[in-house]
Amino acid sequence: MAELNEKSMAINNVSCKGGAGDTVDLAKNAGPHDASAEIINAKLILNGKRVDSVSGRTFAVRNPATQEIIGYVPKANAEDVHNAIEVAKRGKSIMAALPAHQRAQILKKTADLIGSHHEELSRLLCRENGKTIRQCRIEISTTQRLFVDFGEEAKRIGGNYLPMDAVPGLERMVAYTIRQPIGIVVGIVPFNYPAELFAHKIPGALAAGNAVIVKPPSKCPLTVLRIGELMLEAGLPPEGMQMITGSPDDMGDELFTNPAIGMISLTGSVASAVEIARKAAGTLKRTAFELGGTDPMIVLEDANLALAVEAVVQGRLTNGAGQICCAVKRVLVQASVYDEFLKLLVERVSRIKMGDPLEEDTELGPLISPSDAEKVHAAVQKAIQMGAKCLIGGERVGAAFYKPTVLVNVTPESCVMEEEVFGPVAPVYPFKDLDEAVKIANDSSFGLQSCVFSENVRNALKVAHRLEAGGVVINGASSFRPGNLPFGGFKLSGIGRESIAETVREMTEEKAIIFNDVL
């Protein structure tokens, strides 16, 4: 292939032809995948029972690849929310009284049940979410492992002995701390990794002895609801977890304002977090927000370029169709290797297979909905109007598919560099030296994850320590989140950290107990 640069590329500033999916007629080939699958009539879970909304209303869940209806889910209203809170109030004392070994056993049994239903859950997730079947299997395996890990953590919640003789006059005192559940935790789960992100919140809250109220994502609630059923089968007290589905507009504000709620944990948008924080402020609830990012990837001139290219493909363009909060969002490449990097990237992107997500060799499925695909396309077109050029991709296919896209001639002020684009779009920008790369990376309202590629550990660490982000991955994509690492962001990317240990800690209260005059 001839050396790739902006002058040698044939660019269409309106749309960019070529690349992934050219040999696949998605409109025809993304047809009914599981023709034998019945329509799912899902229910709310209240007090251990599957029930309809008081309103009697439902909404449809569609397969993003085909736009077929695969299920109907109740549209909860304010009365349903109130009922869930009333059950959770009873569950608060029931869960707090449940011994740690029983909480651990319930979570471990749930993990076993997830394992025995692994393929069923994976295919259901694929059908309602649109990620490829291989990605869905990985998500369900991660979900299963998180339940195991939180089950183990339930048995490790401890306090500290405090040496009171450190203070003159207190030598005859003994003091120690314990951790107790915060009470009722509301978990709001997003659409992009619904099972896994449910598992980053809810088993942690239960491990700590809390009752929970779960709001699954409206666009793909079915897998989360099914896991909820398995949790009850595993022995979770019916008062311990309530699950309500529907639109926040129909549910009212009680989930955020009722003083019985101790904590709200959201993975979602900045706008949602600001609104929830405003409503929760009146009762000073604890909040944990994991929000968006414009996660930078810095490729230094001494990097392994093939490894960096694959990180863009896997960490931005294919996994979750780019709908990942910590995905690579801005690709900053040192000018001396910029052309070579682009050549390798475009060649690799041209080989991405986009198509039916249930096919084993598909690399890229659809976005979650046609409207989300349109948002991505609008961002790409806006960037082009601002002077960007599209090297490959830049097209919608069918209702919700979007070709993996590489943009150049972007500036740090371009919309695709300043804003979070939730789709398979990689803007690539050349920088002169390390200082400029760090400056551009940090010039953002967000600071979730980031990554740097370099074969020189000193250079890599120089960048890592200067980046304003909750996590920095060296020689790997920023879309990296094992359960044992604290995960969260700087600035508008969120409040608090989630991990096996820190989630449980955040969802408990610390109490000091002092014995006076005992020694």
* Residue 78 pLDDT exceeds 70: yes
171 tagged catalytic:
no
Mean pLDDT in residue range 273-302: 97
> Which residue(s) pair with 286 in the sheet?
263
DSSP 143-162: HHHHHHHHHHHGGG----EE
How confident is the model at residue 205, as a pLDDT? 98
Give the pLDDT band (50/70/90) at residue 35. very low
How confident is the model at residue 6, as a pLDDT? 31
- Read off the pLDDT of residues 95-105 as tens digits, 9 standing for 90 and up: 999 999 999 99
Mean pLDDT in residue range 51-76: 98
The tokens for 441 are 């990376």
Give the pLDDT band (50/70/90) at residue 28. very low
* Residue 5 pLDDT exceeds 60: no
How confident is the model at residue 153, as a pLDDT? 98
Q: Locate all alpha helices (DSSP H) within 132-261, ordered by sequence.
A: 133-153, 194-207, 222-233, 248-251, 254-257
Cα 518 to the center of its chain, rounded Å: 50
Q: Looking at 325, 326, 415, 451, which residue is catalytic?
A: 325
Q: Looking at 68, 139, 153, 290, which residue is catalytic?
A: 290
Pairing of strands 286-290, 446-447: unpaired
How confident is the model at residue 16, as a pLDDT? 52
Mean pLDDT in residue range 120-134: 98
How confident is the model at residue 14, as a pLDDT? 35
Pairing of strands 69-74, 58-62: antiparallel
Of the candidates 244, 223, 439, 245, the residue with the CA atom closest to the CA atom of residue 330: 439
290 tagged catalytic:
yes
What's the CA gap between 70 and 198, in Å, rounded?
A: 21
Sign of the torsion angle spanned by Cα atoms 425, 321, 473, 3: negative
- Sorted by sequence, the CB contacts under 8 Å of residue 438 that are 6+ apart come out as 298, 463, 466, 467
What's the CA gap between 369 and 420, in Å, rounded?
A: 17
* Residue 18 pLDDT exceeds 70: no
- Read off the pLDDT of residues 191-249 as tens digits, 9 standing for 90 and up: 999 999 999 999 999 999 999 999 999 999 999 999 999 999 999 999 999 999 999 99
Q: CA of 292: how far to CAs of 49, 90, 327, in Å?
A: 35, 35, 10
How confident is the model at residue 19, as a pLDDT? 52
What's the CA gap between 156 and 298, in Å, rounded?
A: 38
- Read off the pLDDT of residues 391-401 as tens digits, 9 standing for 90 and up: 999 999 999 99
Pairing of strands 58-62, 49-51: unpaired
Domains of the chain, with CATH numbers? 26-30+293-491 (3.40.309.10), 42-98+177-291+493-513 (3.40.605.10)
Check if the beta carbon of residue 311 is closer than 8 Å to that of residue 453.
Answer: yes
* Residue 185 pLDDT exceeds 50: yes
How confident is the model at residue 7, as a pLDDT? 30
* Residue 254 pLDDT exceeds 90: yes
Q: What is the mean pLDDT of the chain?
A: 93
**pTM over cut 0.95:** no
Name the least confident of 15-19, 395-399, 419-423: 15-19
The one-letter amino acid at 149: D
How many Cβ atoms are within 10 Å of 270's Cβ, its own excluded?
17
